[in-house]
Amino acid sequence: MATVDYRSLAGDILQGVGGEKNITSATHCATRLRLKLRDDSQADQAAIEKLPGVITVMKAGGQFQVVIGNNVPTVYAELGKITKLTGDDAGSDEPVQHGNLFNRFIDLISSIFSPVIWPLAAAGLLKAFLSMATQFGWLDPASQTNVILAATADALFYFLPIFLAVTAAKRFKTNQFTSMAIAGALVYPSIVALAAQPEPVNFAGIPMVMMNYTSSVLPIIVAVWLQGYAERFLTRVLPSAIRNFTTPLLTLLVMVPLVLLTVGPVTTFAAQGLSAGINAAFTFAPWLAGAVMGGFWQVFVLFGLHWGLVPGMLNEIATQGYSLLLGPLLAAVLGQAAATLAVMFRTRNKARRTVAGPAALSGFLAGITEPAIYGVNLPLKKPFYFGIAGGVAGGAIAAAGGSGASAFVFPSLLGLPAFSQVGNFALQLLGTGTAVAIAFSLTFFFGPREEAASDAGTSVPETPAETEAAAAPVPASAPSGTAAASTGTVNVLAPVAGQAVALADVQDKVFASGAMGKGLGIIPADGRICAPISGSIKAAMKTGHAFGIKSEDGVEVLVHIGIDTVQLQGRGFDSAVTRGQQVCAGDLLAVVDLDVVREAGYDTTTLVMVTNTAQLGSVEPVTGGTFAQGDTAITVQA
């Protein structure tokens, strides 16, 4: 079969339906490009059906549906490059954000950081080497050479908001240059100077609480998120004659002062309250204060709350010659570095391992944890939590011994001498070792074991919600959907209990025709939908109604919950997996409220289809009867 040129296909489909002017909206589901047309008579259905890569065309639900199959996200993306039709719609193939608020927040931060992880890791490693060179006298800290190299290593961290503005603009679909201008204002030298001066600051007579936004994360992400609303509103209300320059003008005039007036005060007051509470805890329960500092220091940095603690550290050193606040941070930093090191040994993902190695090194040697946090631990979640656990235990032990730092240094192995002169140094070493041991052990034995990337050139995932893979491969004896390679047989299991329905009887002509592959339908008895085979999630629809799984044997299975349920836009569906995740047969894919689906007038029949039937030896669905979840539904000879 000839390779399909998806860019040409997108253009041909566009021409076949009468051009962009005849399309009111464009979305896609698991297999179909769904277009709403102004005038159906302008669409040449027969011509589109003959296009290479198109399986068939159907009209249903007021939509002109072009059935493409597994490659529909590629065609949809190409359509977005030549039109202004595509966007953040319910049919896009982005994982739906479920789970608690903190997990969703982590997914957001991780997706925004993903594109800058490699430069961040490189800069962190350079900082570690420079720190080592100056520590051991190989490089004069006052030399011009060191100044230039230090600027090279520090620039990305100092101007981090500008870099994040670019990736956040992509995520929130804003003008990236306007986003960069907002970020540039936040780190502009005179703004940084205003944050450092003791005199009150005001904007147009409004008192303003300033903070240092260099190296910050959240302020620019919040700013770009709000920028999206501002731009969409202005684009809608401004006359086209002045829209192009007036939209960024008004956006800049509103957003920069707004961020400075709101984010700064909120962060500063929260940080001051946090600082007061921790300082008070050091007087009556040092171990408790140490546990908080050791466990949550990286969380404070993430939210920018550390800026309220840094002045206290500097003041302690200036007035008494040491800082107790700094004492537990060695456990906090090295705990996260240890978790990253464990990921390097545990993960099967070569790209993740390549990031984890330098990130762990920069964390241990120089106390630079941004590459470790944002490139490894935070996206995988569990290593981040395990690093916190290690920091809690280690910080409590160190603080119980009165450990502190005699100089303001990055908590690291190279900065260890600064922690040797205050309090019980043996307890400091014990606490730090405990943090490292806990974080490393928990991550190594219980952390995510990501699948090995099979595609050439695969890099650290850029999808906003790619999370941890299964903890271990499927045992040979497990009743999974992938049988031993020697037999060549793959059993595709029923993803849900219910009554079997022959594919030909399914109320959707594309599925019923077998054009998408052989399979069957199941009228579900409950709303728990499980994986029918073991393998990798290749597609997880944002609406939670469809999932594509590919087994190690090369069998590709589509689980489609209900007929035309993409129209519900996720209502009633709660997805449990994300694209890129490794699952075992029987693992939960989604929970669906069947009553919601029925009340909305949609058929609940859940389809299980082998979409690459043509490339396999034989695909034999079980006909008739009632399934329990986990019963064999389709037998495949791979």
Kindly list the catalytic residues. 29, 560
What's the CA gap between 206 and 18, in Å, rounded? 55
Q: With contact defined as beta carbons under 8 Å apart, do 45 and 78 qualify?
A: no
The residues with which 403 forms a beta bridge, in sequence order, are none
Q: With contact defined as beta carbons under 8 Å apart, do 406 and 322 qualify?
A: yes
**Residue 427 corresponds to which tokens in the numbers above?**
């307890």
What's the CA gap between 6 and 3, in Å, rounded? 9
Report the chain's C-alpha Rg in angstroms: 28
The residues with which 59 forms a beta bridge, in sequence order, are 64
Query: Position of tokens 């404070």?
Result: 300
Q: Taking Cα atoms as reference points, which of 463, 508, 480, 517 lies closest to residue 604?
A: 508
Residues 6+ apart with CB under 8 A from 57: 45, 48, 49, 64, 65, 66, 67
Q: Give residue 446's region: left, alpha or beta (phi > 0; psi -120 to 50).
A: alpha
Q: Taking Cα atoms as reference points, which of 611, 463, 591 lies closest to residue 535?
A: 611
Q: Give residue 305's region: left, alpha or beta (phi > 0; psi -120 to 50).
A: alpha
Q: With contact defined as beta carbons under 8 Å apart, do 160 and 144 qualify?
A: no
What's the CA gap between 25 and 61, in Å, rounded? 14
Kindly list the strands in the beta sheet with 618-621, ordered across the sheet, starting from the edge strand earlier in the chain.
489-493, 632-637, 618-621
Count CA atoms within 13 Å of residue 602 on its CB side: 25
What's the CA gap between 35 and 58, in Å, rounded? 11
Element housing 34 (H / E)? strand 32-37
Which SS3 state, helix, strand or coil, does residue 354 take?
Answer: helix
The residues with which 627 forms a beta bridge, in sequence order, are 498
Count of residues making up the chain? 638
The residues with which 415 forms a beta bridge, in sequence order, are none
